[in-house]
Structure 1
Amino acid sequence: MNVGRLRQFHTALAAAAGSLIMGLMNVWPSYTSELYFSNTTTPLSAPMTKAEESLLGSLPSLGAMCGCAIAGVLINSLGRRYGGVVLSLPVFLAWVIISMTSSIRVILAARFLAGISGGASLVLAPIFISEVAEDSIRGTLASSSMFLYCSGTLLSYIIGWALTYRIILFFMMGFSLAATVLIFLVVESPVYFLRQNREEDAKLSIAKYRGVPVTSMLVLDELAKLKQLVMPSVQLVSVIETDPKALEAEKEKLNSEENDQEVQQSTPSFKLLFVQPASRWAFTVVITVISMQVLMGIVPVQVYAKTVFTETDPSKADMYTVLFAVFLFFGTGVTGVVADKAGRRVLLIASSALVFVCMIALGYLMQSKIAPPIITVLLILAYCFAFMFGAGSIPYVLLAEAFIPEVQNLASMIIIEWVWFLNFAIIAVFPYMISAFGIYGSFYIFGTMGLINAIFAYMYVPETKGLSNAQIQDLFLSRKRR
């Protein structure tokens, strides 16, 4: 692997590190709540109430909504690198606060603060990765957010099982600080440099990410393409002015696209997102599959994993909870390995269909109780794996590659804001779903969402692996016209 690709992997890891931190943080209450409830061993000044337990689990999602709202502004003004550093600090500060207080109210405020970093990461990662990744590995890199999130949940379950409360807090602070260091060491995006009119810096950034000399024709070619996307077309002359034949060819190409480029350059991002047919339809497709991902139930099943396994087999609930995280981890790993080989669309369809099968079977078994507990547990684990190898990861790959640069920031912010709102809502509603329909009825609902997602993906999601941004826009248009 050349140096350029190593830098691309480093950037993907650094940009998505907030997802690992969010995974660590989200499942922390699953093994901390019992300690906080205790009258004898609680580190709090008074035992936690049921209402406070609900807030302990859900407040990071509200914080994440705030993180999404400010992420776009910061990374556009400070850059992906320094904006990422600033956005990674709230979660570190939150863990420091939690380690120093015995007040549940202060801890709840810190949980909200920590959520800011997690939400911001899901905006930063697809934007940064889409700007630096080669087409051939873009799918693998774009799946890193979900892979690291699942890694964080697995790690959190393990340390919660093995370590004491205070040691866990020090681990959390260490991981949060490491995430800040990682993003500080990345190479800034060439797209950001171009938007700041820093062409030489943009050329140097491209050269570093491709592992070639700054004078390479590959650098000049990529710079020309980026300028065509993010700058007025007349500014392309400086890239190729030394080659008259290339200049003439470029002029002919630009003449055929002049009207579209003028519209893109003069139209505000918000209007362009919903006026330009390709962007509007890409937004519709991506927000639909990412919403269905949430509605397939992985978030409440994850947050209440121990409760689900306790109902299934109380004696082995802790072990099954760790296995749950292991299957999430390996399912996401499959996406990282095969997303650029098998393709996005086939993984999304197959995964959603398998979620439907697993959830319907799981609901029936839990309703009828005709099978031993181990069969139910295996079905839950199969559901986790089936969800993560496609339906749980591919929407974030599409988020990183479906939009033109002019609307990428805005589209990512809106979609991730919506995701965190859905996460908050479904976590809050899940206990009431169990009361109204039983846990098996809730699983029937989640399974139905998987079937709907499979049908929608078959009809409307284009295959985007290995394609350029322009080719992807054409595919979205062709799918819309079907």
Structure 2
Amino acid sequence: MVKCLQKPENMEKIKLKLSAFLIQIIATSCICFLACQTGFACAWPSGTIHMFQSNDTVLSTPMTTFEVSLLGSLGNVGALAATPFCGYAFNNFGRKYASILFGLPYVINWAIISLAKGVPWILLAVTIAGVGIAGQNASLIFISEISHDSIRGGMTALSASGYFLGLMAGYALGGYLPYYHVVYANMTMAVIAMVLLMLLPESPVFLVLVGKTEAAAKSIAFYNKVEPTSKEVEGEIKRIRIQLDPRLEKILEAEQDPEALSQLLAENGKTEEIAKPHSESAWKLFRESKSSKRAMVIILVLMVSSILMGAPVMQIYAEPLFQEAVPTMSANECSIYLAIVLLVASVICVLVVDKFGRKNLMILTSLGSGVCNVLLGTQLHLKWASPWFTVFLIYAFNFLFTLGCGVIPFILTAEVFLPEVRSFCNSVVMSSLWVSLFVLLFIFNPIMELIGLGPVFYCFSGVCFFLAIFSYIALPETKGLSADAIQALFLKKKA
């Protein structure tokens, strides 16, 4: 039945040409430049905290320890508060204009910082930046809907590369440029990101969803370098309509013969109706979709488990660990090297995720991350190796984590749900991300004081091994599959 949905009769599938590949890379890079802004925003506090606390601060008064903790955490609060609005914005304003809208908080953030001297204004600015972070994560939907099925995973993973590139550049700027030069540079980049997004056509899936078939044909033609009147474009629009057809799951679940799909395509009057906006809410459509509910459970487990593997804690405690292991190197240099490791891992993920698949990478990188956590835990607990080995383990864990289980849940979130509930489901998954991140950081210090830092990493390793087992049992392979074929996988009794 999956083959039937991938290659139905009378539908010419678009083949990925080199020119289309280049166009999709350029378009994806424009969207991923929004992720760079997240990297700039997240890297900025590390280069300013020391100055903010000193008597030579540019602020009206030095920051207290409590205010410094707020500086690093309020972005998550802003992201969590904005996440429910992301689904509404991407469903009602469109993928393109919603992405532009969520670029605006970065501009506002840097504008406030460039003008303000009071600590409350700085804290307000980083909270507003968190709204942009939430929208940047949701913009993965835009990437997944303009990318060819054969490269969709790599294109979506490119957003992580954009974030780490921004993180690396942010660390470098903070280490070598004056305070206000950094702020002005970041604000300029945020404006450029919004301008780049304006140059892109809207997602064809959204255009079909709201009934703008002619505009959808032009969008498909642009991203695939074909004529708007070609059979390939006509076939792609029909495929999108099938994904939006409320009868799709019934056909898949009943496992009817291939003639059912041909009959569906032949009902021209009904397929035109499918192109019109659904009157039902996304929540109602989600409740009625068995495939989306099953996908939601799996994605939530993947997302929450990836956070509980310890990567946020590892990155927060990297600086004191680096200072202990290599006191001759500056913390800023070590942070830049760590960002380079993360960037390289994310680029490799882009190159291999559509070749080796999501499932295999999740299993292998979860196992590798678990081994690193066990070794790091014993090293911190027993001090059995050189301090340089601690540095190696930090880099190795972050490399393996970013190569697979730190990126793939975001790819799956953007590709496994039906188009009409995709934005809603993205909001739910992203909310789980912010909540689990808050819980982890909130309970980490009390648990560390109770059992010690080394044993905490044993717990992280247990989550890693659990995620590897769960991925092997429950996660279906989605590489190269269209949205309708993916729904068939989640309707099976065993993924």
TM-score (norm 1): 0.90
C-alpha displacement of 1:174 = 1.9
Structure 2 gap segments, 5+ residues each: 1-16, 248-258
Q: CA deviation at 1:339?
A: 0.6
User: Does 2:284 correspond to 1:271?
Assistant: yes
Match for 2:106 among 91, 102, 105?
91
CA deviation string 1:448-476 (max 9, x = no partner) = 11111111101111111111212211222
* 2:304–2:436 Cα contact (<8 Å) kept: yes
Letter of the 2:126 partner, please give it: R
How far does the alpha carbon of each residue in 1:412-460 deviate from its partner, in whole angstroms, 9 at most, with x for none? 0111122122223323333334333332222222221111111110111
Structure 1 pair 92–428 and aligned structure 2 pair: CA distance change class (3 A): farther
**From 16, 19, 30, the counterpart of 2:35:** 19
- Return closer, same or farther for 1:248/1:454 CA change in 2, 3 Å cut-off: closer
State whether residues 207 and 219 of structure 1, in contact with CA within 8 Å, keep that contact through their aligned partners in structure 2.
yes
1:448 to 455, 458, 462: 462
Q: CA deviation at 1:266?
A: 7.2
Mapped partners of 1:216, 1:252: distance in 2:
17
Aligned pair partner of 2:190 in 166, 176, 181: 176
Q: Secondary structure of the residue that 2:103 maps to in structure 1?
A: helix
What's the CA shift for 1:335?
0.7
**Gapped runs of 5+ residues in structure 1?**
234-245
Aligned residue runs from structure 1 range 11-410, under 5 A = 11-39=27-55, 41-125=56-140, 127-230=141-244, 249-251=262-264, 268-316=281-329, 317-410=331-424
Cα distance in 2 for partners of 1:30, 1:431 equals 20
Give the counterpart letter for 1:136 in structure 2. S
User: CA separation in 2, counterparts of 1:289 and 1:33?
Assistant: 33
Structure 2 Cα separation of the partners of residues 289 and 431 of structure 1 = 24
TM-score by length of 2: 0.88
Q: Does residue 428 in structure 1 map to residue 446 in structure 2?
A: no
Q: Distance in 2 between matches of 1:432 and 1:311?
A: 22
1:305 shift after superposition? 2.5
Residues 403 and 248 (structure 1 numbering): CA distance in 2 closer, same or farther, change over 3 Å? closer
Distance of aligned partners of 1:464 and 1:416 in 2 relative to their CA distance in 1, 3 Å threshold: same
Deviation at 1:89, TM superposition (A): 0.5
Note the alpha carbon deviations across 1:260-285, whole angstroms, 9 max, x for none: x9xx9675421332442211111111
Say which SS state the counterpart of residue 130 (structure 1) adopts.
helix
> Displacement, 1:302?
2.0
**Greater mean deviation of Cα atoms: 467-476 or 327-336:** 467-476
1:20 partner letter: C
Please list the CA deviations of residues 191-247 of structure 1 after superposition, one character each: whole Å capped at 9, or x if unmatched. 2222332211111111111100111100000011112223678xxxxxxxxxxxx99
- Deviation at residue 61 of structure 1 after TM alignment: 0.8
**SS, match of residue 178 in structure 1:** helix
Superposed CA RMSD in Å reads 2.5
TM superposition shift of 1:14: 3.0
Cα distance between partner residues in 1 of 2:173 and 2:443: 29
**Percent identity over the alignment?**
33
- Aligned-pair CA distance for 1:252: 7.5
Distance in 1, Cα, partners of 2:444 & 2:325: 17
Alpha-carbon spacing, 1:182–1:424, altered in 2? closer, same or farther (3 Å): farther
Aligned-partner SS, 2:172: helix
CA distance in 2, matches of 1:90, 1:458: 39
**Residues in 2 aligned to 1:266 and 1:165: alpha-carbon distance in whole angstroms:** 51
Between the aligned partners of 1:458 and 1:270, the Cα distance in structure 2 is 30
Letter in 1 for 2:316: V
Q: In proportion to residue count, which structure has more helix?
A: 1
In 2, the alpha carbon distance for the partners of 1:144 and 1:160 equals 24
Amino acid in structure 1 at the alignment position of 2:102: L
Return the letter of the residue paired with 1:388. Answer: T
Is the contact made by 1:195 and 1:231 (CA closer than 8 Å) also made in structure 2? no
The worse-fitting range, judged by mean Cα deviation, of 222-231 and 353-362 is: 222-231
The 3 A distance-change label for structure 1 pair 313 and 195 is same
- Matches of 2:291 and 2:89, distance apart in 1: 27
* Aligned 8 A contact 2:243 2:484 in 1: no
Alpha-carbon deviation of 1:20?
1.8
Matched, 1:439 2:453: yes
Distance in 2 between residues matched to 1:9 and 1:280, nearest whole Å:
31
Contact 1:30 1:304 in 2 (8 A): no
- Residue of structure 1 in register with 2:254 after alignment: none
Q: What is the one-letter code of the residue matched to 1:437?
A: I
Contact kept, 8 Å, 2:88 with 2:424, in 1: the verdict is no
Deviations 1:158-217 (A, max 9, x none): 222222212211221122112111211111111222233221111111111110011110
CA-to-aligned-CA distance 1:146-166 (integer Å, 9 cap, x gap) = 221222222222222222212
User: For the residues of structure 2 that align with 1:389 and 1:254, how far apart are their CA atoms?
Assistant: 45
Deviation string, structure 1 residues 30-74 (Cα, Å, up to 9, x no partner): 2211111112x2111111111111110010111112332222222
1:62 and 1:421 in contact (8 A); partners too: no
The verdict on how the C-alpha distance between 1:59 and 1:182 changes in structure 2, with shifts beyond 3 A counting, is same
SS of the residue corresponding to residue 339 of structure 1 reads helix
Count residues in correspondence.
Answer: 463
Q: Is the 8 A contact 2:377 2:455 kept in 1?
A: yes
In 2, are the aligned partners of 1:309 and 1:321 still within 8 Å (CA)? Answer: no
* Counterpart-to-counterpart distance in 1, 2:440 and 2:325: 22
Work out the CA distance in 2 between the residues paired with 1:433 and 1:180.
42
Q: Distance in 1 between matches of 2:96 and 2:297?
A: 29
The structure-2 alpha-carbon separation of the partners of 1:337 and 1:407, relative to structure 1 and needing over 3 Å to count, comes to same
Q: For residue 417 of structure 1, what is the aligned residue in structure 2?
A: 431
Any idea what the Cα deviations from partners look like across 1:82-138, whole Å, max 9, x if unmatched?
A: 22212111111111110111111100000000110111111122x212222111010
Which has the larger displacement, 426-435 or 206-215?
A: 426-435
